[in-house]
Amino acid sequence: MTTPETLLRHLFDRAVEVADPMRTLAGHLPPKPDGRVVVIGAGKASARMAEAVEAVWGPCDGLVITRYGYARPCQGIEIVEAAHPVPDQAGEDATRRMLDLVAGLGADDFVLALISGGASALLCAPCDGVSLVEKQTVNAALLASGAPITQMNMVRKHLSRVKGGQLAAAAYPAKMLCLMISDVPGDDMAFIGSGPTVGDASTPRDARQILEAWDVVVPPRVTAALAGASGVVRPDDPRLGAVTNVIYAAPAQSLVAAAELATSMGFDTRILGDALEGEARVVAKAQAYMALGLQASLKLGDAPILLLSGGELTVTRLGDGIGGPNAEFCLALALALQGADGIYAIACDTDGVDGAAEVAGAVIGPKTLGLAQTASVDAAAMLARNDAHSFFAQINAQVITGPTLTNVNDFRAILIQPR
């Protein structure tokens, strides 16, 4: 008999499956152009995207940067692994090589860019006057601040030589097609991987205001860099006229696929949205109250309700624990539900990495808090110090997938059965 936890895991696996570049990218590739073709890219899905390209086009010249452990075998495209979510020297070196690769291309040349979530950290070329160490400091502070990903990426753009349309400008006048997998709420191209092929009208002053709003303290040379001009390319820059940007996979598609599977199994499936943002524990409490209210309306014999949602929640680091937004959502949800019978949930990042841990997320059910009590684990204390991954590790409720080779943001499902 299939358990509720197993069912929820099947739905998550379905959401990941439909976003696999090997299943979806080929339909968005044009015939391989004549003349010189260069393939570039960055992100957690970029190596898989490159593999999918060569499955159609054959061996290609190019360079793609992905997260450590996410490389794929390619025939001609070079795959470089680098650090995420905080950039490292390997990422900086590879990014500078990528800029050199596209420099000097002509109007008859063609560039295929492959961008997915994670590219913000992996494409690392600090602006003049800012070192890699200083960029790392800013990234780490932003990640701990609780700032939304769109605001973090705006700051990153103005400290970079490649983000905010600068990669596309470097390849001009070559024609460029950029295929993207969205991992940002609202699917705004300008924020997928910090928009290396998309113009941006923001200013360094906007970046400074974000740092102030989230109390992010940065090194003096970063402050100085944000007081001057930025290399970010404005949307009306003529160099962007040679670029076509296409989002070919997005969170909504994965949620719909999971919903269709659940509905075929007889569930009353409801999608709450694919672009939810906010503090993980706050959203969890709101969804717990919603689930309890819906359960109270169910009668014996009614179809179970399934609530699906996506987006990107955040965690403001208050403690020294190990916990990403999906695990923190699950722990806060379990505490809010207080062992309510018949309610189960899963929350996972579709890239297989929740926060900085090699864990996709977690599952909870009516027995979660009881299991913790038996193991002498204080759930409330673990939440208070942002240690959700350690909590779920101790009760054997983590979801560990390894590299999924795609990234369409968070996946959350709450199963509500009649009492």
Average pLDDT, the chain: 96
Look at 42 and 319; give whichever has higher pLDDT: 42
Q: HSE-up of 182 (CA within 13 Å, CB side)?
A: 24
pLDDT surpasses 90 at 175: yes
Least confident of 103-117, 135-149, 247-261: 135-149
Residues above pLDDT 70, as percent of the chain: 100
pLDDT for 75: 96
Question: Mind listing the domains of the chain with CATH numbers?
Answer: 4-14+252-416 (3.40.1480.10), 31-249 (3.40.50.10180)
pLDDT surpasses 80 at 306: yes
Contacts (Cβ under 8 Å, ≥6 apart) of 233:
164, 165, 166, 168, 169, 199, 200, 239, 240
- Secondary structure, 3-state, 147-208: CCHHHHHHHHHCCECCCCCHHHHHHCCCEEEEEEECCCHHHCHHHHHHCCCCCCCCCHHHHH
Nearest to 401 by CA among 146, 114, 19, 1: 19
Burial class (CB in 10 A: 0-12, 13-18, 19+), 119: buried
Q: Looking at residues 202-227, what average pLDDT do you find?
A: 95
Please tell me the distance from the alpha carbon of residue 152 to that of residue 142, in angstroms, as a whole number. 6
Q: Looking at residues 297-310, what average pLDDT do you find?
A: 96
pLDDT for 149: 85
Q: Looking at residues 327-342, what average pLDDT do you find?
A: 98
Block residue for tokens 């979530």? 117
pLDDT surpasses 90 at 322: no
Look at 1 and 315; give whichever has higher pLDDT: 315
Instruction: Give me the phi and psi of 360, to 5 degrees please.
Output: -75, -35
pLDDT in tens, 17-27: 999 999 999 99
The three-state secondary structure class of 336 is: helix
Which pLDDT band holds residue 1 (cuts at 50, 70, 90)?
low
pLDDT for 143: 87
pLDDT surpasses 90 at 349: yes
pLDDT in tens, 71-108: 999 999 999 999 998 899 999 999 999 999 999 899 99
pLDDT for 419: 87
Nearest to 331 by CA among 294, 375, 295, 384: 384
pLDDT surpasses 80 at 341: yes
pLDDT for 323: 82
pLDDT in tens, 116-134: 999 999 999 999 999 999 9
